[in-house]
């Protein structure tokens, strides 16, 4: 029996750009709201800053010599499958994955990686993409990167710089006709209140929670959680999100924590994906439930 989704307001003529560090980030952060906006007629573009070349194999079933020998091509193919599942367009910014610096003290980043690229060089590439696609709304990571991976932090810096520069005709004049996106958001899906709610729901149903250990170590930061301004209802599209995640087979273990909480329970307990409105060039009243609040196609 086909799945039916609750009707969502028409978003035809509106454009949304997500800027992510690696292939798979677009599926683990904001994928359900992405799928919802696509279904509503919006044009969604994901810009992927790196090829994910240095990402570890996180799915034991894919930890094979043939995969490791061709990891760059494998991750591109995974991105293509996820792109098609989400119904988006996608482009590569063309930088090299920095990898996760492991050790104490941490080693220096590898030469030529995204984390070491001069900010203006990376910003100009993204400005070209912004001016070509002309998004009304952009999303990226917060200043911590969501987590402190050097590529995520650099992605934040480049995204914020490009959002500010894209509409300025004096910045990067050879990168296309100026275009000023109207709103900038940070992803906040991995927030403590959400994890606590899902954890308590699992225990209430007599199920083992995948978040017990993480929550025990997670220092509460109520002022950080209070930064969330926008909760987008998209629970009907969690299934699309899950399929996009599974497309990244080297990164996502189908038997791992991503799928430990039943989808029906997620839809009941926390049916939103959460964002922080950082900049708005249109009238905006928070809290919101829509990334396009205040935006019209001809804005």
Widest pairwise Cα distance in the chain: 60
Q: How far is the C-alpha of 137 from the C-alpha of 35, rounded, in Å?
A: 15
From the list 157, 54, 160, 145, the residue with the least C-alpha distance to 98 is 54
Instruction: Report the 3 state secondary structure along 263-276.
Output: HHHHHHHCCEEEEE
- Could you tell me how far CA 49 lies from the centroid of its own chain? 12
Q: Are 90 and 83 in contact (CB under 8 A)?
A: yes
Q: Which helix (H) or strand (E) holds 72?
A: helix 71-86
User: What residues form the annotated binding site for Zn(2+)?
Assistant: 22, 25, 152
Q: Are 40 and 10 in contact (CB under 8 A)?
A: yes
From the list 238, 190, 182, 183, the residue with the least C-alpha distance to 36 is 238
Q: How far is the C-alpha of 176 from the C-alpha of 166, rounded, in Å?
A: 9
Which residues sit opposite 276 in a β-bridge? 186
Q: Are 32 and 235 in contact (CB under 8 A)?
A: yes
User: What residues form the annotated binding site?
Assistant: 22, 25, 152
């Amino acid at each position: 029996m086909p799945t039916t989704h609750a009707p969502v307001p028409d978003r035809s003529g509106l454009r949304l750009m997500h800027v992510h560090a690696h292939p798979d980030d677009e599926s683990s952060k904001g994928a359900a709201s992405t799928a919802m906006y696509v279904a509503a007629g919006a044009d969604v573009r994901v810009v992927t800053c790196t090829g994910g070349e240095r990402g570890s194999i996180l799915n034991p079933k894919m930890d094979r010599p043939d995969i490791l020998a061709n990891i760059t091509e494998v991750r591109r193919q995974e991105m293509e499958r996820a792109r098609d599942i989400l119904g988006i367009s996608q482009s590569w910014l063309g930088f090299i994955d920095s990898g996760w610096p492991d050790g104490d003290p941490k080693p220096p980043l590898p030469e030529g990686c995204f984390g070491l690229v001069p900010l203006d060089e990376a910003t100009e590439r993204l400005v070209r993409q912004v001016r070509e696609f002309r998004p009304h709304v952009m999303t990226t990571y917060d200043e911590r990167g969501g987590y402190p991976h050097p590529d995520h932090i650099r992605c934040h810096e480049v995204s914020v710089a490009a959002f500010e520069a894209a509409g300025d005709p004096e910045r990067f004049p050879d990168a296309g006709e100026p275009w000023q996106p109207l709103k900038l958001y940070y992803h906040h899906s991995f927030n403590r209140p959400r994890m606590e709610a899902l954890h308590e729901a699992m225990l209430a149903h007599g199920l083992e929670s995948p978040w017990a250990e993480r929550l025990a170590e997670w220092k509460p930061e109520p002022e950080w959680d209070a930064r969330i301004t926008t909760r987008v209802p998209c629970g009907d599209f969690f299934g699309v999100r899950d399929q996009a995640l599974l497309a990244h087979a080297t990164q996502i273990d189908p038997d791992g924590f991503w799928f430990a909480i039943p989808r029906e329970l997620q839809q009941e307990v926390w049916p939103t994906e959460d964002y922080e409105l950082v900049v708005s060039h249109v009238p905006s009243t928070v809290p919101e439930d829509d990334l396009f609040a205040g935006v019209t196609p001809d804005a």
